[in-house]
Structure 1
Amino acid sequence: MDTNGAVILCVEDEAEIRRDLVDELLDAGYEVHEAGSGSEAIGRLAGLQPDLILCDVNMPGLSGLQLLEQVRARGDALGEVPFVLLTAYGDREHQIRGRALGADDYLIKPVDYDLLLATLASRLRNARRVHARVQSRIGDLESQLAGVERRTATLPDRMALQAALADGRGRRRRGLLVASFDELSRHVQQFGSSFQDEAEQALIGQVQLLAPAQAYRLDSETFGLLFADADALDVSALGRLVEIECRSPGGAAPVRLSTTLCYVHCEPEAGCDVADRLEDACLAVRFGRRDGGHTLLRLDAAAVQRLRMAGHVEDHLLRALRDGEFTLHFQPKLQLADDRLVGAEALVRWHSRDLGPISPGVFIPIAERCNLIEALSVWVLDEAARAAAVLAREGLDLAIAVNASGVELHAGFPARVREVMAAHGLGAGQLDIELTETSVIADIRHAAGIVAELRGLGVGVAIDDFGTGYGSLSYLRALPVDTVKIDQSFVRGLPGNAIDRQIIESVLTLAHALGIGTVAEGVETAEQEREMRRLGCGQIQGYHLARPMPLTELIRFVRERR
């Protein structure tokens, strides 16, 4: 068998099976690298360019399907690498989900090694044929690219713009506009490379009609335009350029092109770092395009801070997970009927080695926007389950609650929870899942199915931040949840705010009528605790009871309360 020295990454959590697979592949002439978990595989991929990934489906923590999903989500060549899954499950559902995520093939355990080697050889041949076609297509495009290069050469580049920004001669305020087409490549594919010339001329020309500006090319779809006199520019007029018209080849109807723009002042007396100013504007455009484009962004000091934080989260979150920068803290819950601690909510904390502590209120929304929340949630679920197992070994009967984002409410989520519970030996009543109200209201029927599956595993389900959603509270009748958590924004007004008290009373009455438990979040004073007791709330959670704490402190806290 001609393996051509192909590199295989073998991902399998069972050491004996992994050793057998590696031996067979080495004997067949492959270069083999191995990983004992999905998380380890993610780390290996940073410095490895495998020709094929062979991966087990059912692994604790990051499963094979989740690893596949992360690989396919990459924007580089590695995102297209052939991916073959190994599974002990021959069921149709697993295979359908794997195919939907982009798996190239499935093999059933115990592995037939002759079939394995034939499958890998076939997939690698197919990949080589695709690569050859791509190279051929690249050759066909070289003449067109030569034209693009000539066009690129007609505009100064990024380095020239940086030099111009650094030149602080003159006292006029200057302005910098970074402008990018949102979907130019799609139109170029339709009309040809000459259309790109038309689009660029149209955009630069319309900007220069507003005020004199020198154009610079930053990449194939992005330009910098430097205004020598910002005071001569009506910045609000730039908003009209988030959509421009461009002539189409052949004299057909004009094409409307969407753009993302970012404008920032460059004032010589501010002593600003011009390189940072340009990079901030480029980063803003990148995030603006990701959020749908067709917008004009303006940067002030606060916006720059938010932007840089978003960039840091996107660039470093996966590495931070790998390097142990994330931890879980736990906030206890007190059952008011018997003053007994019955659970704790797991809350993620990030202490960045570069920036120090980063608030969850900052990095979680950014992770959601950057499609990184699922990787973080996989880690949190596994760590929370590990903590629940430790508590059980310590003889402490506490359920650990984990927050799940709306992104996680897909058909595979209950299976992931089941795998994590099995990996850590958890039984019924040891794990709770908290869902936000807005995530379940979006699709009640779908959410009800997920909730029913979770409860079938012995997992408690709570609606978090209850009362902040935009739907009727009657939706609770359609959801088989165990608990509602009254949002702290209502608790904060007690005991003095009559409206907040009435809202809480209504929620408690509804929950009691439906046989659903209740937890009041954000209880910070003895008066608020007394009020919740008087109103008949089931449990409380908040700083009055305890702040979030590491697991070792939680164990000590629970023992001291007994």
Structure 2
Amino acid sequence: MGGLALVVTVIFAVIAVASAVVLAVMLVARDRERERVARRDPLTQLGNRRMLTEAADRLLGDLSDLDAVDGNGSHGPALLLVDLDGFKDVNDTLGHIAGDEVLVEVAQQLVASAGSDALVTRLGGDEFAVLIRGPINVSGASVRAKRILGALTLSEFQARGVSIDIRASIGVTVAPQDGRTLSDLLQHADIAMYQAKRERAGVATYDPAFDDHSTDRLETLAHLREAMLEDQLHVRYQPVIRADDHTLTGFEALLRWQHPERGLLLPAEFIPIAERTSLIHALTRWVLLTAVRDATRWRQEGLQATVAVNISPMSLEFGLLGIVEEVLALHRWPAELLVLEITESAVTDNPDTARAVVGSLRDRGIQVSVDDFGAGFTSLSQLRGLPVHQLKIDRQFITQLERSPSDDAVVTSIIELGHRLGLSIVAEGVETEATAARLVELECDDLQGFWFARPMIASEVLGWASEHAASRTTSAVAAAAASAAAATAAVSGPVD
């Protein structure tokens, strides 16, 4: 019996040891899985920021050796920052589940096109980072970025049976010349990526010269947020005049920023910066509310006129419809008296979204105008399929109209094209009587420019409109008198 007890004891001991070993293995496996999950993006299964940090730290720790390979220090690892352009429209149109499906497809395409020596990670949202081990120089990193961009552009992504075109902007940095830490590389890649967006270039390599612009951009952005709260933003109004009889038809709302240190700033000095962030949507709403509020007051005083507001390409998305409906309802403003001006780039950059949004606006009764027409690259097929009401000829063709036969030919062609498509034509930048007269000959519908009036503040509009109406009446009386005198002379014949 004593021997049997010993055997049983040994068996239980072996079982206990085996169980402990199995448990230890399971715990190790669990910990490894936790570590794996902690380094992975749960949606795309790409590496996350933690994995990127660990990999970059290992590579950047060897920079001294890489410097010895190339005296100019341009053969370190490269970091590419990839940001999808206009991806918010996918979520807004198809929903976030469909958007997630597209992000998974994009992640797979990035891995396939980045190369075997690259780590692709998702930083969040629609932003990805590609860490290329190297050795690689700036030229090689730029070529790799263009290859990635081409793969994204040429691929057809699907979500809920809908084909989606993906465009991206990529900022390129190479260590150690662009930074010796991941933080520096990410910051500089973000600056380069913003430059790519601003220039619509697709890919941009970091240039230290961009830093000044970036610093100014951040400061301007911070001050712009303050400006909206401290009444530094103002809207000026420039009249739009019917060409044939100079009747006032409407006003264009022009945003200005009375900066406390830099003076009066035009939109070109701050709108591109706001377009980089969601602040552009707040600005769009503010201008719409202000312009329609002012126009409502004029209408209450008997002035019937349209009001036109410029819409950033970044705001031409389905969320714009809600903002417009809010503004119309708040001021009980007739939809047909609101004109939204969009640029050619808004049409060419995302034609499908532009067509859908513009169609919804038109169904609501709102007029849509293509601003600065002729300065961009809107194709005739895109224009034909876009449900707009109006074309505004870019001022660069109007200011030299009297002296440039080529500009005259361009303007003539645009007016004829627009009329054949059933669109009205506005010429902006009219600064002389001769220019206005030539546009009347070409049967342009409406005119706008300094020849009639400079942009004015809201409180000046009613007075100007009254003076303009009186001037038109005086001119009409004078013209009628001259016509009658000429007719009398013709009947009476010459006087000896």
Query: Do both share a fold (TM > 0.5)?
Result: yes
* Aligned equivalent of 2:243: 336
Aligned residue pair count = 341
Q: Is the 8 A contact 2:79 2:174 kept in 1?
A: no
Aligned partner of 1:347 in structure 2 is: 254
* Counterpart contact for 2:192–2:207, Cα < 8 Å: no
Match of 1:460 among 355, 358, 367: 367
User: Which secondary structure does the structure 2 equivalent of 1:462 belong to?
Assistant: strand
1:362 corresponds, among 230, 244, 269, to: 269
| Match of residue 517 from structure 1 | 424
Cα deviation digits, residues 163-217 of structure 1 (max 9, x gap): xxxxxxxxxxxxxxxxxxxx999999849968745522422433663379xxxxx
Match of 1:234 in 2: 72
Stretches of structure 1 lacking an aligned partner (at least 5 in a row): 1-139, 145-182, 213-231, 245-252, 266-278
Larger Rg: 2
Select which of 44, 67, 80 maps to 1:210.
67
3-state SS of the aligned residue for 1:369? coil
1:265-306 CA-to-partner distances (Å, cap 9, x unmatched) read 9xxxxxxxxxxxxx9999655433566898642334xx4542
2:391 alignment counterpart: 484
> What pairs with 1:55-454 in structure 2 (closer than 5 Å)?
190=47, 196-206=53-63, 209-210=66-67, 234=72, 237=74, 241-242=78-79, 254-256=117-119, 258=130, 261=173, 284=188, 286-288=190-192, 296-300=205-209, 303-454=210-361
Deviations 1:72-126 (A, max 9, x none): xxxxxxxxxxxxxxxxxxxxxxxxxxxxxxxxxxxxxxxxxxxxxxxxxxxxxxx
Aligned equivalents of 1:524, 1:264: Cα separation in 2: 54
Deviation at 1:466, TM superposition (A): 1.2
The verdict on how the C-alpha distance between 1:333 and 1:404 changes in structure 2, with shifts beyond 3 A counting, is same
Q: Which residue of 2 aligns with 1:7?
A: none
SS in structure 1 at match of 2:228: helix
RMSD, aligned α-carbons: 3.9
| Cα deviation digits, residues 492-539 of structure 1 (max 9, x gap) | 331222222111111111222222111001122233222212211111
How far is the alpha carbon of 1:375 from its aligned partner? Answer: 1.2
Whole-angstrom CA distance in 1 between matches of 2:230 and 2:54? 46
Whole-angstrom CA distance in 1 between matches of 2:309 and 2:218:
26
Matched residue SS, 2:275: helix
> What is the one-letter code of the residue matched to 1:288?
A
1:238–1:296 contact (8 Å) kept in structure 2: no
Asked if 2 retains the 8 angstrom alpha-carbon contact of 1:508 and 1:536, the reply is yes
Change (3 A) 1:239 1:493: farther
Q: Is the 8 A contact 1:388 1:431 kept in 2?
A: no
| 2:452 aligned residue (542, 545, 552) | 545
Q: 1:243 deviation in Å?
A: 6.4
Deviation sequence 1:200-254 (CA, Å, 0-9, x none): 2422433663379xxxxxxxxxxxxxxxxxxx9637x36974469xxxxxxxx75
Distance (Å, rounded) in 2 between the aligned partners of 1:399 and 1:509: 24
- Asked if structure 2 preserves the Cα contact closer than 8 Å seen for 1:448 and 1:478, the reply is yes
Q: Which has the higher helix share?
A: 2
For 2:51 and 2:77, locate their aligned partners in 1 and report how far apart those are by CA, in whole Å: 25
SS in structure 1 of the partner of residue 206 of structure 2? strand
Runs of at least 5 residues in structure 2 that lack an aligned partner in the other structure: 1-30, 82-115, 121-129, 132-171, 178-182, 470-496
Q: Does 1:508 align with 2:415?
A: yes
Offset at residue 331 of structure 1 (A): 1.2
Q: Which amino acid aligns with 2:191?
A: F
Contact 1:400 1:430 in 2 (8 A): yes
1:20-63: CA deviation from partner (whole Å, max 9, x where unpaired): xxxxxxxxxxxxxxxxxxxxxxxxxxxxxxxxxxxxxxxxxxxx
Contact 1:402 1:433 in 2 (8 A): yes
**2:388/2:423 contact within 8 Å kept:** yes
Matched, 1:496 2:496: no
**d(CA) in 2 for partners of 1:444 and 1:294?**
21
Q: Could you tell me how far apart the structure 2 residues matched to 1:495 and 1:521 are?
A: 15
The 1:460–1:243 alpha-carbon spacing in structure 2 relative to 1, beyond 3 Å, is: closer
Give me the whole-angstrom Cα distance separating, in 2, the residues matched to 1:413 and 1:554.
Answer: 27
SS of residue in 1 equivalent to 2:302: coil
- In structure 2, distance between residues paired with 1:296 and 1:407: 23
Q: Is the 8 A contact 2:296 2:331 kept in 1?
A: yes
Structure 2 vs 1, CA of residues 211 and 549 (structure 1 numbering), >3 Å: closer, same or farther?
Answer: farther
One-letter amino acid of the counterpart of residue 234, structure 1: N
Q: 1:339 to 1:187 in 2, by over 3 A?
A: closer
Which amino acid is 2:428 matched to? E
Cα distance per residue 1:470-499 (max 9 Å; x no partner):
232243332332211011122133122222
User: In 1, Cα distance between the equivalents of 2:246 and 2:52?
Assistant: 72
Overall identity of the aligned pairs, in %: 32
Query: In 1, distance between residues paired with 2:288 and 2:424?
Result: 23
Q: Counterpart of 1:337 in structure 2: which amino acid?
A: D
The separation in 1 between residues aligned to 2:51 and 2:348, in whole angstroms, is 48
CA contact (8 A) 1:418 1:457 kept: no
Q: Which residue number corresponds to residue 478 of structure 2?
A: none
Q: Contact conserved, 1:288 with 1:295, CA < 8 A, in 2?
A: yes
SS of the residue aligned with 2:56? helix
User: 1:551 Cα deviation (Å)?
Assistant: 0.8
Quick one: distance in 2 between partners of 1:339 and 1:363?
Answer: 34
